Each structure stands twice: as C-alpha cells, then as structure tokens.
Structure 1
C-alpha cells in the first residue's frame, strides 16, 4: 500500500513538472524562439521618468568627514541662505535649492565638473539635498553624493561648524 502511495506521489510530481514546463515554454515562446535563432534579446524599455533621472548616491558621516578633512570633496549646503549664515559645516559652500531651481543649469563657481560634490541639508527628514544633487547631476557634475544626516548629524558628532550661532 505504501508503494502505491509513493508511486502516486511521484506521478503527481511528474505531471506538475510537465505542466509547468509546457506553460513556461508557451509563456516564453518568443524569447525562446529568438534565442534558438541566435537573435540578441531586446532590452525592455524603462519608463521615461527612470531613463531621464540619475540619482546621487547616499554617503555616510565617516566618508563625508574623511573627504572633508582631506579636501577631496566640495560640500554644498542646500538650505536657505539665512540658515547657511546661521550655521553650516565648516568649509561648505551655499547653494540653496530655491536658487538652484531658478538657474537653468546650477553652477558651483570654481568647481570642476569631475570634482566630488556632497550635498547636505537639515538631516534625514529634509529632501532638499537629494533634489539639489539631482540638479547638479543634470548640470554635468559626475560625482554627486548626498549626506542624508546633514548638518544635525555632523554637529551632533562634534565636527566643526561655522556661522553666527553655535
């Protein structure tokens, strides 16, 4: 009796595998026919929004500090000019998001297009740095990063800031 049960189970598994294989071949028949003929696979087109927008990569506090201290990166503050005047990361440049969106192609004066640029703002809840990073990439800057922790994480770590208030 156990032998009939195991034979029945094996037969059911074989039927399921066969039906799945036939369905898979039918479903992918065009792709398989092209592969059989040796035709290259056609890339699937991504939606227009995905094709057009390159995103800056996030970067952590330790990497920002290392690049800042070695002078290998330009830090750009995406906050308002008033916020920048009040307090900012020492050595950072101000390019408020509002100002950058008004410019056709935002430029960082004296910064080469191949320089490492790190945008920041008011921390994880602030998205201005990401938006500024996107604009800088569209303007031709090749190595753009976003410091998501922004000024609060920098300041809370005891790293140097500049400005009127501390």
Structure 2
C-alpha cells in the first residue's frame, strides 16, 4: 500500500508541475516571444519610447574618486531638513520638491557641462533619479545617480557633515 501512495503522490506532483509550466508559458507567451526574437522587454520600453534621457548610475568607488578629486558636483535630493541633519561633505542641496516647482531647476554657480551626481536616502529612494531627469531636461549634460545614497556613503566611513551623526 505504501508503494502505491508514493506513486500516487509523485504522479500528482508531476501533474501540478506540468500544469503550472503550461499555464506560465501561455500567460507569458508574448514576453517569451519577444525575448526569443531579441526584442526589448515591454517593462523597459516606456522611458526609451518617450525619448527620455535617464541619468546613469554610479558606484561608491567611482563616486569616492570623483569626490576626492573635486571632479563632480554632488547634489542631495533629500529635504532641506535632512540635508541640514547630515549630508555628504561638500554636497549641494536641491530637494526634489523644490526642483519640481521650478520650470528648469538650476544649480547656482554650476556650469551646464559639469559632472553632477545626485543622491538621496539609498536604494529604496527614487528622488535622486527623478532629480537627475529634471537636471538633464534643464540642460545639464553629465548627470549621474548614486543609488546607494547617504547610507552607503556613511556606512563606508566616508566624510559627512551636518548637525547629526
């Protein structure tokens, strides 16, 4: 009897897995067909179709090198209060809220051809990406986003300044 229950269980598992595979393939058939033909994924297409320029991501090591050499202007997209509490040493404050109220956000004293790196509160914060897009639309040519933001910078032991630590 025990042998028949194992056989029955194995058969049930095989049927469930097969049905799931067929259902998944049918459900995602257009995505799979596009991938098979080398077309871009539908999720990645909207920004590209609109012709929207996106800032490029930059890593911690690259940012540290640019920061130490003075080759980039760091821009904090967080609120003014958060900036006052703590920010990357030498960064400018341009909160996303303020930038969206302006038609063309400007960084005082920063040339349009300067290398700009926007950051905010880390990987879960998208303010830096939105600020980067606004700065590109405003005519800044070299705009990057540091997705790790202040938390990654601070956790690496790199210099911050402000009222809190």
The answer, yes or no, to whether TM exceeds 0.5 is yes
Structure 1 residue 49 displacement after superposition? 6.6
Q: In structure 2, do the counterparts of structure 1 residues 53 and 156 end up closer, same or farther at CA, with 3 Å as the change threshold?
A: same
Q: TM-score, structure 1 length as denominator?
A: 0.70
Counting only pairs closer than 5 Å after superposition, residues 83-162 of structure 1 correspond to structure 2 as 83-162=82-161
Quote the Cα distance in structure 2 between the aligned partners of 1:52 and 1:154.
32
Quote the Cα distance in structure 2 between the aligned partners of 1:141 and 1:152.
26
Q: In structure 2, do the counterparts of structure 1 residues 142 and 158 end up closer, same or farther at CA, with 3 Å as the change threshold?
A: same
Structure with greater Cα Rg:
1
Q: In structure 2, do the counterparts of structure 1 residues 106 and 62 end up closer, same or farther at CA, with 3 Å as the change threshold?
A: same
| 1:79-119: CA deviation from partner (whole Å, max 9, x where unpaired) | 00000000000000000000000000000000000000000
RMSD: 1.4
Structure 1 residue 66 displacement after superposition? 0.2
| 1:124-156: CA deviation from partner (whole Å, max 9, x where unpaired) | 000000000000000000000000000000000
Structure 1 residue 122 displacement after superposition? 0.1
Quote the Cα distance in structure 1 between the aligned partners of 2:56 and 2:108.
22
Question: Gaps (5+ residues) in structure 1?
Answer: 1-45
Quote the Cα distance in structure 2 between the aligned partners of 1:48 and 1:134.
11
| Runs (4+) off by over 3 Å | 46-49
Match in the other structure for 1:62 = 61
